[in-house]
Amino acid sequence: MKHKVSSGKKIVCLNRKASFDYFFKEIFEAGICLKGSEVKSLREGRGNITDSYAVDKGGEIFLINSHIPLYKQSSYNNHNPKNDRKLLLNKKEINKLIGRINRDGLTIVPTKIYFLKGKAKVEIAVAKGKKLYDKRETIKKRDWNREKAKIFAKKNK
């Protein structure tokens, strides 16, 4: 009997809206500095990064506007759900990100939060915002692919 080998990656939350609103230039994996109640809340699969972004504060990168709900079993030492959370990156990566933000006018958007080998990680993307006509083009492509799939499904029957 063969056992399934898992990659050890448990995805907690995705930011699907980000791929619709931004063009991704580069993707990084960063650790995230969390309190105990935040980790337990994330392990339950709760969290939201839809409207969040990352900024530079004093040479460090912080995740702003991410929502991790309160952990019910934690009492007086519970966390603030809308806290700014520090992202753990190498100095070289931080300098590269800060340069891309300041020089190129790009933004840093989180795409997903997941657990890898028991540690909470955030996948962040250096991104450029899409214009309205780019979004329309994305919708057209999605609709055409859906129609194409329907046509092929009818043909194959």
pLDDT for residue 83: 83
Could you tell me if residue 151 is inside a domain?
no
| Residue 32 included in any domain | yes
- Least confident segment among 27-31, 121-125, 138-142: 138-142
Q: Are 134 and 25 within 8 A, CB to CB? A: no
* Residue 136 included in any domain: no
**Predicted local distance difference test score (pLDDT) of residue 91:** 93
Q: What is the 3-state secondary structure (H, E, C) of 40-66?
A: HHHHCCCCECCCCEEEEECCEEEEECC
* Total tally of structural domains belonging to the chain: 1
- Distance separating alpha carbons of residues 54 and 57, to the nearest angstrom: 10
Q: How confident is the model at residue 3 (pLDDT cuts 50, 70, 90)?
A: low
If you average pLDDT over residues 57-83, what whole number do you get? 83
Average of pLDDT values for 76-97?
A: 86
Q: Does residue 4 lie in a domain region?
A: no
42 domain residue, yes or no? yes
Classify residue 149: in a domain, yes or no.
Answer: no
**Domain hosting residue 96, numbered range:** 9-130
The CATH number linked to 24 is: 2.40.280.10
pTM score, whole prediction:
0.76
Residue 141 lies in a domain: no
Question: Residue 83 falls within a domain, yes or no?
Answer: yes
In the predicted structure, residue 122 carries a pLDDT above the cut 90: yes
